[in-house]
Structures are given as structure tokens and as C-alpha cells.
Amino acid sequence: MERPDWAPPGIDISVPSVSRIYDYYLGGSHNFEVDRQTARRAMEFLPGLPKIMQANRAFMRRAVRHAVAEGITQFLDIGSGIPTFGNVHEVAQAATPDARVVYVDHDPVAVAHSRAVLAADDRSDIVAADLRKPADILHSPQALSLLDFDRPVALLLVAVLHFLEDHDRPHEAVAELRDALAPGSLIVLTHASYEGLPTAREVAGGAVDVYRGTRNPLVMRSREEVTAFFDGFEILEPGVVAMPRWRPEPEADPDAPAGDPGAALPDGPDDDEDPYTFAGFAGVGRKA
């Protein structure tokens, strides 16, 4: 029998949650043993998973700053998970005080936690909704009161679309969201992929198998498939690339003397990055 609409999913904390696993990867303690066990098992196959998550956070941070630089002050972050260090509203509000952020997640625990964290912030709110049902998001009271869809909005789909299986019709969901956005709106997107991983596909497949045990199996997609999410958007430079390559911020003084362990590194950013951070794809698109 199909689960009735009124029964909220995921209140069983004995089942691992991707948002709490994500928090664990990021060094947080907003997680339970079952989450940590799952994370550790996945890390047996891909020890660099935390680095991938960190790269996601760093990319998101750069992209939010970029959006603010383009004059965007409204953010819709779908799949926001457990609020942790360097959240969108912190980054955005640091860059522009009038930034408004609507978070969306379907994990009730993440939603409850977000609600607690955002209780004092009247420019940010959380919607309990599912990316598979964009209308629920777009017509939520929070979105309607905080966001003006006649003006550009930055739509963040960071590390979330790879939790939608093909039968969930993720491309259609993104298209529905896109159609609700004003011209000049941005889509900020990352997606897991076998491409760019420093390990063999079979090994990475082990981690994918681990996620089958969660409510949200992991779906790896090719660059082509990820690029298709940008239909209707103009993809900004440098395109759909590995996360660290999307508009990296330059390193410190290249003139520091060599041979000094305290001297700044003259090399490009890639060389110093953890190889895992090059797994998957990131990109930003602008709606014409």
C-alpha cells in the first residue's frame, strides 16, 4: 500500500539520513550513530568524501557571493539539509544585509533543526517540501512571503539532484522551477558523478551501494546529463566543471621567497587541492 500523504517521511531516526551524513562529513555532530556508521562505510570506498562535501560548501559560498555580485538578493536553497558552518544565509547576509533565503528540505529532522536555527532570523525560513513536487515549494507560504518571483532569484540545487532517480523526473522538476523564475535568475548546481573521481568506478560503486540503504539512493550522472539540467539557462564561465575549477579565488602573495616554509605557494590552486574535490560537476546558469 502506498504511504499516505499525511504521514511525514523520515521521522524514524534509526534510518540513516543523507543530511545528517553530510553534517558528519563536514565535521559536525548533528548526527546519530546510524548516520556515522553509514558515512564510515561509504568512506571505506571513498575516503575523500568529506573533501567532496567541503568542496561543495566552498563552491556554494563562491556562487552565492557571485550571485550577490550580480545584484541578486533572493535565494532558494533546495535540499539545504542540516544548517552548518557557512550557511547560505550567513554568506549572503554577510555580503548583502537585505538577502532573503528560503531553505527547502524534505527531511523532517533537518527541517525542525533549521527552524530552530532560523527562529531569530526574519529574512530566512525553511519549507518542508520535496524537490519532486516543485509546486509545493513555489506555492509555500514561506516562499510567497519572502521571495518576489518577479525579480531574479538564485536557485540553489547543491548536492541534491543526485538523490533524485530518473523515475522522479528530475529534469522536469528543474524545468518547472525554472519556469517560475524571473529572467536574470541563477541556477547554482552541483552533482555527483563517476567522472573526476580518483578511484576506479567499481570502487566508487561500493559507496553508491551504501547509499542504497538510505532513503535517498545516490544517482551518478554524466557531464552530459548534468548539463541538461541547465536547459533554458545560459551556462556561465567556466561552464560545467569540477567544483574547485569553478571560479577559484586566487591564493596569497606569489612573491614570497622560496625555501621558506612560511612562504606563500606560487602554484595554481589545483595542485594543492585534494584529488577527491574534482569528482562531480558544478555550474551556474543564468535565465535569459
Partner 1 sequence: MRIPVQTGEATALPDSPEDRITRFARIWSRAIFPVTATSLTRQEFEVHLVPLARELSRALHAQPFDPAPAQRIGADLVAVHCTDPDALSGTLGVIESYLVLYCGPAGREDGEEYRARCARLQHALAAGYARALRERTLGEQEAIARSALSARTDAQQALHASEARFRAVFEDAAVGIGIADLDGNVLECNEALTRMFGGVEGHIRGRNVCDWSHPEDTPQVWRMYGELVRGERDHYRVEKPYYRHDGTVLWTNLTVSLLRDADGKPQYQLALMEDTTERRLLNLRLRYEATHDALTGLPNRTLFFERLEKALAGKGGRFGLCYLDLDGFKAVNDSLGHAAGDRLLVEVADRLQSCATGPGEMVARLGGDEFVALTTSAAGPQDVTDLAMRILSTLSAPVRLDGRELSVRGSIGIVEGPAGERGPAEVLRSADITMYRAKGAGGNRFELADAEADARAITRHGLTNALPAALERGEFFIEYQPLVHLHDGSVHGAEALVRWSHPQHGVLGPDRFIPLAERTGLIVPLGRWVLEEAVRQARTWQREHGGPLRINVNLSPTQLHHPGLVADTVAVLEESGLAPGALCLEVTESALIGADDQLLEPLRRLAALGVDIALDDFGTGYSNLANLRRLPVSVLKLDRSFTQSMQRLPADPVDVKIVEGIVALAHSLELAVTVEGVETGAQAAQLRALGCDTAQGWYYARPGAPDRIHALSLADAVPS
How many Cβ atoms sit within 10 Å of the Cβ of residue 204? 21
The reply to whether 14 sits near partner 1 by the rule CB under 8 A is: no
Q: Does 66 bind partner 1 (CB under 8 A)?
A: no
Q: CB nearer to partner 1: give 89 or 113.
A: 113
Torsion angle (degrees, nearest 10) of CA 106, 132, 227, 90: -30
Q: Does position 46 bind partner 1 by CB under 8 A?
A: no
Tell which one of 58, 138, 161, 189 touches partner 1 (CB under 8 A).
58
Amino acid at the residue 268? G
CA atoms within 13 A on the CB side of 128: 15
Query: Is residue 47 near partner 1 by the rule CB under 8 A?
Result: no
CB of 108 to partner 1, least distance (A): 4
Part of the chain binding partner 1 (CB under 8 A), chosen from 39-47, 49-57, 72-80, 169-177: 49-57
Bridging pattern class, strands 100-105 and 154-157 = unpaired
109 binds partner 1 (CB under 8 A): yes
Nearer to partner 1, 43 or 228 (CB): 43
Q: Return the number of the residue (224 or 260) whose C-beta is nearest partner 1.
A: 260
Site for partner 1 in 234-253 (CB under 8 A): 249-252
143 CB-near residues (< 8 Å, 6+ apart): 76, 102, 127, 137
From the CB of 227, what's the least distance to partner 1, in Å? Answer: 25
Cα separation of 53 and 42, whole Å?
13
Tell me if 167 contacts partner 1 by CB under 8 A: no
* 143 vs 140: CA distance, rounded Å: 5
- At how many degrees (to 10) do helices 18-25 and 108-117 cross? 60
Among 112, 135, 144, 203, binds partner 1 (CB under 8 A): 112
Applying CB under 8 A, the site for partner 1 has a residue count of 47
- Compare residues 179 and 251 and give the one whose CB is closer to partner 1: 251
State which of positions 265-284 bind partner 1 (CB under 8 A): 265, 272, 274
Q: How far is the CB of 128 from partner 1 (least distance, A)?
A: 9
Instruction: Please report, as ranges, the residues that interact with partner 1 according to CB under 8 A.
Output: 1, 3-4, 6-8, 11, 13, 20, 25-32, 50, 53-54, 57-58, 60-61, 82, 85-86, 108-113, 115-116, 249-252, 260-265, 272, 274
